[in-house]
């Protein structure tokens, strides 16, 4: 292994030219870059998102709620992060962290803003009494796994995915470091799913909805072109769970909401009603 000649300066300064593939949307400061109001549709929930794993969590939740008969109609608006939509003043007003997704709940006497996908899942689960036990040990177990995902996935996306797939150069040390951690997390899930039908027990929950877009997508070969590199087929229980979740109608619909790339049959850039899925691969 070679030793990098890089020596960190005493005080770091930002050089946008060194940002790699996402240099145009990464910066070390917060706040809006331009004035732009968010659109609003006719429904009580307004989702502003993109079909990345974090965005898929919430659109899957909405589609699962609708499939279960809940009055959870929503409008989903595309936030094109490559063009900097997340830095518009309206979006920053809902999510000061300038990351997708962002959600407005307009069903009550006062609008409720929600940022962070885990917060949205808990809010919607409690509001509709679905996919999260109301109390007790079963609720805590779901939250255990929800927060596990929120804390663990940055190692997969920002760590492994970045250095393996997106960094301008390949470096052995960070790829090895994050591959090791990613495989450890896959093993955590595989061992858990050897003992239970779903991540948090015998019932499908928001824990599955949060974890599947990241880890299900990874083992199903939809992320970073890394399935062979990570030997994902060795995680047999995880693979079976990923395929089981992938077959759910609500998941099939939710994962393509706010998607504007790839096969057109798997693109629903905006979603305002069930009719938007007509002719799609769902």
Instruction: Kindly report, as residue ranges, where domains of CATH 1.20.1050.10 are found in the chain.
Output: 136-246
Query: Along the 282 residues of the chain, how does pLDDT read in single tens digits?
Result: 556 688 999 999 988 777 667 777 888 999 999 999 999 999 999 999 999 999 999 999 999 999 999 999 999 999 999 999 999 999 999 999 999 999 999 999 999 999 999 999 999 999 999 999 999 999 999 999 999 999 999 999 999 999 999 999 999 999 999 999 999 999 999 999 999 999 999 999 999 999 999 999 999 999 999 999 999 999 999 999 999 999 999 999 999 999 999 999 999 999 999 999 999 999
Dig out the tokens for 229 from the structure. Answer: 């590199």
CA dist., res. 8 & res. 173, Å (int): 17
- Please give the CATH superfamily to which domain 1-131 belongs: Glutaredoxin (3.40.30.10)
User: Residues of CATH 3.40.30.10 domain(s) within the chain?
Assistant: 1-131
Q: CA–CA separation, 169 vs 172, rounded Å?
A: 10
Which pLDDT belongs to residue 2? 59
Write out the two tokens for 59.
């659109």
Give the model's pLDDT for residue 6.
84
243 vs 235: CA distance, rounded Å: 12
Residue 272, pLDDT score: 98
Neighbouring-strand partners of residue 88: 34
**Amino acid 67: pLDDT:** 98
**CA atoms 111, 253, 97, 149: torsion sign:** positive
- Taking domain 136-246, whether its CATH number is 1.20.1050.10 is answered by yes
What pLDDT is attached to residue 59? 98
CB 51 within 8 A of CB 271: no
């Amino acid at each position: 292994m070679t030793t990098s000649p890089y020596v960190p300066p005493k005080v770091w300064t930002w050089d946008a030219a060194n940002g790699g593939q996402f240099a145009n949307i990464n910066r070390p400061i917060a706040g809006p870059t331009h004035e732009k109001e968010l659109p609003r549709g006719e429904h009580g929930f307004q989702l502003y998102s993109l079909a990345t794993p974090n965005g898929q969590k919430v659109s899957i939740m909405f589609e699962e709620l609708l499939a279960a008969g809940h009055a959870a109609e929503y409008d989903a608006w595309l936030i094109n992060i490559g063009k900097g939509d997340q830095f518009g003043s309206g979006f920053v007003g809902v999510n000061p962290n300038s990351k997708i997704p962002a959600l407005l709940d307009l069903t009550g006497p006062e609008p409720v803003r929600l940022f962070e996908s885990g917060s949205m899942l808990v809010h919607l689960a409690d509001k509709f009494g679905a996919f999260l036990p109301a109390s007790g040990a079963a609720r805590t177990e779901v939250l255990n796994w929800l927060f596990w995902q929120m804390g663990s996935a940055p190692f997969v996306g920002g760590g492994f995915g970045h250095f393996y797939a997106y960094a301008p150069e390949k470096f052995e040390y960070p790829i090895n470091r994050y591959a090791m951690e990613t495989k450890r997390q896959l093993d955590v899930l595989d061992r858990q799913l050897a003992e239970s039908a779903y991540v948090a027990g015998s019932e499908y929950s928001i824990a599955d909805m949060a974890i599947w877009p990241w880890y299900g997508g990874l083992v199903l070969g939809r992320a970073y072109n890394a399935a062979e590199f990570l030997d994902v087929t060795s995680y047999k229980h995880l693979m079976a769970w990923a395929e089981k979740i992938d077959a759910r109608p609500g998941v099939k619909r939710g994962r393509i909401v706010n998607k504007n790339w790839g096969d057109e049959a798997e693109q629903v850039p905006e979603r305002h009603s069930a009719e938007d899925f007509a002719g799609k691969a769902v």
